[in-house]
Amino acid sequence: MFGLFGKRDASDRRQKVEKIERLANACQLELYRTVEQALGRRYDQKTTGELAAALSNYIMQFGLINSQHASDALLVQRIRQELRSCYTFIDYKVQQNSLGCIILLASAWRIPLDKFTGHIRSLHQFKLFDLGSNTPDVRKDLTAEDFVYMYEAAAIGTNSNSAAS
């Protein structure tokens, strides 16, 4: 009897993770299209596609730079360069939707809190997200134990705002 509950809990968790991953994939695709449109004015089509993919992966997947991209030194340099200006061409709604999805993914994938906060802090330094009281409230999609991801993101914004004063 106890085994049935464990299987159901695992199945419920898997369904929740899959739902979050679908949502995050849609968000990442929206981010990709936004970046691709903006960078298409500066780079050729191949470079634009690579940069858009690399930037959306980096932002949405906790700093991921895949091995193919990492082996291209010029592309890595461009990724770092474009991260500094992303906030100028990714509109606020896309930024905040991405942040909400990143918070949900962190909980779904059980990302260590230090890795999560380091990533959010890094993106916040690139002015990519409006944190503090503007952090998306995704509590309805989190378990109580995972609220910490949302609260940590909000605290980064609050701490940086008070440090700037």
Helices (H), 91-138: 92-109, 113-125
Residue 114 has pLDDT above 90, yes or no: yes
Instruction: Please give the pLDDT value at position 19.
Output: 94
Helix (H) or strand (E) holding 19: helix 2-39
Least confident of 19-23, 70-74, 114-118, 131-135: 131-135
Q: What percent of the chain has pLDDT over 70?
A: 91
pTM for the full predicted model: 0.86
Find tokens 């942040």 and name the residue. 99
Per DSSP, the three-state class of 70 is helix
| Residue boundaries of the structural domains of the chain | 2-164
Residue 113 has pLDDT above 70, yes or no: yes
Dihedral-angle region of residue 110 (phi above 0 means left; psi in -120 to 50 means alpha; beta otherwise): left
pLDDT, tens only, 5-34: 556 678 888 999 999 999 999 999 999 999
Residue 92 has pLDDT above 70, yes or no: yes
Residue 123 CB burial class (10 angstroms; 0-12, 13-18, ≥19): buried
